[in-house]
Amino acid sequence: MAATTLSPIQQQQWHPGEQAMHRLLRVPRDDNPTFRGLAPSHGHRISQSPVVALGTLDGRGRPWAALWGGERGFCRPVADGVLGVRAVALDVQFDPVLGEVLGVEGGGEDRKTRGTRRKEIVSDQVVHPDADEGGKLIAALAIDLETRDRVKFAGRALAGAVSVTATATAETEAGGLPSRLGDLQMAIRVEETLGNCPKYLNKKRITPHVPSPRLVSMGVGGEDKGDDDGGGGSGATQLLSREAIDLVERADLFFIASRYGSNGEGSMDVNHRGGAPGFMRVLTAPNTTATTATTTTTALVYPEYSGNRLYQTLGNLHSDPRAGLAIPDFATGDVLYVTGRASILLGEDAAAACLSRRAKLALRVDVEEARLVRDGLPFRGEVIDFSPYNPPAPPVPRRQGADGSPPTRTETGKAVDGGGGGGGGGGVATATLVDRHVISPSVARYVFKLSSVAASDGSCPSWRPGQHVTLDFGAELDHGWSHMRDDDPQSLNDDFVRTFTVSSSGGGEGARAPPPNEFEITVRRHGPATGLLAKWNLRVPLELPVLGFGGAEGFRLPIPTSPSPSPERGSVFVAAGVGITPLMAQAADVLRTAAGDNNNADGSGGGGGGGVTAPLRVLWSLKREDLPLAVHVLKRIEGLGKVTRLFVTGGGDGELEGGIRQLGAVVTERRMGPDDVLATGEKGNRRFYCCTGPEMMKALLQWTEGEEVVFESFNY
């Protein structure tokens, strides 16, 4: 067998696009670990992979990606440097890669591809794609989700054939084309391989499945859109249907194909991107380009997590922004195929697009064409376990109701006033830890003293009750880049910037205010930042940059205008555990002008007698071990006990509960229920403020359907 002649691109260590990304992200120069050819070890790993994601180019040079497989061994070495593929039950009609690699031109001109000939699979016809160029350019990722193993390979599809085995009788929902299945045989000459790490791969058990593909929706945007919009009717304006968007928002894995160079001497890459469900999001915006046929632009955005720093995908996209994505739903077999143009986002642009302060690098893919195929995959995947390296996904923004009316719920996040990124630099002030008061085994109160670094007059930034402070722990906790860190996987994508509710009021009667330029936070030990605070030796100064104080105005409780009974709306604050902290800074001011009105906390609704509406009621769920926190809070804020009802789980503590009752609170030894919530305050004349964990918040939003609810999100 003649030796393979390496193209100029193959002879380079890194192509110009990769070099540009390395310079942009300040990556040290190193050798390219890509193996030229098919190493025996890589061939074995590929043969053990039940799924292969493949990418190729269509007639206009646009990348597409698709998924084949179902059983181990369907793709394996058959000769020196050659892989044989024997895949069954593939979607012949809608799979974009299969059609481009082994399709035969025919069926007339395709209006969607501006003059190119439509390709069709002809049963049992042997095809030698792009034979004059040595085969059809192709790239792939063999992946074993059960063992979190993956191997990239790229080369040329030499020859193949498809035997059409079944044709569905029912027509599709969009386009009216019948679906077909086929069994494939194909030979691929492998020019390069690279084994990859297991990060961000969620374990799944793959089993074969015979699909019944149906094209649910199709969108073609911009100048690509012809007279036939393919979206189920003329005048379609959405590139992604509601069902397609839902698939994206629950995906925990997708595959991306990219290219570099021309077809003859070019190369391709296919790799995966994974994370927690919801790590990828959809952006839609009004289209301001008058020449396009759609009224909105649609983009997919995801964060680029810490990886091996080769930046082969991003290097390709830096040189050629065209990208193809395959986004599967392993549970249903649905798959979304997308091709579009990518933009690399850095710094604040990445954080804003991903709704995550931690995102420093992200990719945006503006969709040019998309097709959603229901039950289009020849396998199913059952979740076994999620990767410990997955950062938390940001919350999906809430949408308005179908009638366009505004939502009755308002979610407030931990917005930050003031700039700055991680890593221990910048900030509007410095916070020095000066005191620590341990309240319970897992909860403590920390006191910080502020000193100015930004103001010329030496003044420190101020805050209002209920706001948050954002502190940068990067200088103390960031150990720099490493490829893998099994002892602390979450730290790889952690900027060590943390946001805490300020629990000190800053003054007011009935509150114990700290001295000027001091603030307090009351937090549970959970994670590296709070762990650092808990064990820090107070004899050594701990100085942290303050990135800002902030917080949504919507979570500030109204202060009564007078102590007399009035028709003003009452506030019902529902908290779980340390979710009480937003109230700690506000309660004194709310209660100060309401003295004498809040003498009843039996949960019967209304305050005092005569149907008077109390300005504040508190429903607080606590575990038994957190009862010291209740004692601490109720002692510090005069009058708060009289308006508080505690729900204690995990057994009681007679001594502590007795002390809590002496402070005026009602103690109930059970979980909080819907009747407890709805019986508090006066319906139609109350607003609920909720600060709990996600599961309890979900229940609260169901219980208070139709009520006015403001809630603090823990998903940040």
| Residue that finishes a domain, picked among 385, 417, 441 | 385
pLDDT at 356: 77
Same domain, 472 and 567: no
Among 51-60, 106-115, 162-171, 272-281, name the one with the lowest average pLDDT. 106-115
Same domain, 569 and 689: yes
CA distance linking residue 158 with residue 361, whole number of Å: 37
Indicate the pLDDT class of residue 690, thresholds 50, 70 and 90: very high
Q: Which CATH number does the domain housing residue 673 bear?
A: 3.40.50.80
Indicate the pLDDT class of residue 71, thresholds 50, 70 and 90: very high
Same domain, 608 and 536: no
State the SS3 of 364-412. EEEEEEEEEEECCCCEEEEEEECCCCCCCCCCCCCCCCCCCCCCCEEEE
**Ranges 96-110, 299-313, 546-560, most confident:** 299-313
What are the φ/ψ torsions at residue 96 (nearest 5 degrees)?
-70, -25
Closest CA to 689 of 435, 409, 446: 409
Split into its structural domains, the chain has a count of 3
Cβ neighbourhood burial of 97 (10 Å; 0-12, 13-18, 19+): buried
Residue 418 lies in a domain: no
Which element (helix H / strand E) includes 510? Answer: none
Same domain, 103 and 145: yes
How far is CA 201 from its chain centroid?
Answer: 14
Closest CA to 495 of 426, 411, 429, 443: 426
- The secondary structure of residue 127, as a DSSP letter, is B
Q: Which CATH number does the domain housing residue 139 bear?
A: 2.30.110.10
Tokens of 472: 């940068």
Same domain, 376 and 441: no
How far is CA 194 from its chain centroid?
Answer: 27
Indicate the pLDDT class of residue 359, thresholds 50, 70 and 90: confident
Residue 436 lies in a domain: yes
Indicate the pLDDT class of residue 388, thresholds 50, 70 and 90: confident
Instruction: Check whether 535 has a pLDDT greater than 90.
Output: yes
pLDDT at 176: 52
Same domain, 300 and 449: no
- The mean per-residue pLDDT over the stretch 228-240 comes to 51
| Residue that finishes a domain, picked among 385, 418, 449 | 385
Residue 391 lies in a domain: no
**428-443 residue pLDDT tens:** 889 999 999 999 999 9
CA distance linking residue 37 with residue 385, whole number of Å: 33
Closest CA to 107 of 93, 95, 88, 86: 93
Indicate the pLDDT class of residue 700, thresholds 50, 70 and 90: very high
Residue 419 lies in a domain: no
Instruction: Check whether 602 has a pLDDT greater than 80.
Output: no
Residue 378 lies in a domain: yes
Residue 251 lies in a domain: yes
Note whether 443 and 520 are within 8 A (CB): no
> What is the average pLDDT value for the chain, to the nearest integer?
81
**638-677 residue pLDDT tens:** 999 999 999 999 876 678 888 899 999 999 999 999 999 9
| Residue that finishes a domain, picked among 550, 569, 594 | 550
Range of the domain at 545: 429-482+492-550
Same domain, 575 and 616: yes
Same domain, 33 and 109: yes
pLDDT higher for 611 or 614? Answer: 614
Cβ neighbourhood burial of 75 (10 Å; 0-12, 13-18, 19+): buried
CA distance linking residue 617 with residue 679, whole number of Å: 11
Same domain, 537 and 631: no
Report the share of the chain in percent with pLDDT over 70: 76
Residue 657 lies in a domain: yes
Output the CA torsion sign for 706, 710, 714, 716: positive
Count other C-beta atoms under 10 Å from residue 707's C-beta: 19
Instruction: Check whether 274 has a pLDDT greater than 70.
Output: yes
CA distance linking residue 30 with residue 51, whole number of Å: 31
Indicate the pLDDT class of residue 600, thresholds 50, 70 and 90: very low
Same domain, 156 and 257: yes
Q: Please work out, in degrees rounded to the nearest 5, the angle formed at the alpha carbon of residue 645 by the alpha carbons of 640 and 648.
A: 125
Closest CA to 215 of 326, 371, 103: 371
Q: Tell me the whole-structure pTM to 2 decimals.
A: 0.67
CA distance linking residue 657 with residue 668, whole number of Å: 10
Cβ neighbourhood burial of 139 (10 Å; 0-12, 13-18, 19+): buried
**445-469 residue pLDDT tens:** 999 999 876 555 566 777 788 888 8
Note whether 454 and 585 are within 8 A (CB): no
Local structure of 670: helix, strand or coil: coil
Q: Which CATH number does the domain housing residue 541 bear?
A: 2.40.30.10
Indicate the pLDDT class of residue 530, thresholds 50, 70 and 90: very high
Same domain, 375 and 436: no
Closest CA to 377 of 138, 207, 188: 207
How far is CA 675 from its chain centroid?
Answer: 35
Instruction: Check whether 412 has a pLDDT greater than 70.
Output: no
**15-56 residue pLDDT tens:** 999 999 999 888 888 888 899 999 999 999 999 999 999 999
Same domain, 567 and 506: no
Instruction: Check whether 542 has a pLDDT greater than 60.
Output: yes
Task: Tell me how far apart the terminal alpha carbons of the chain are, to the nearest angstrom.
Answer: 58
pLDDT at 126: 96
Residue 113 lies in a domain: yes
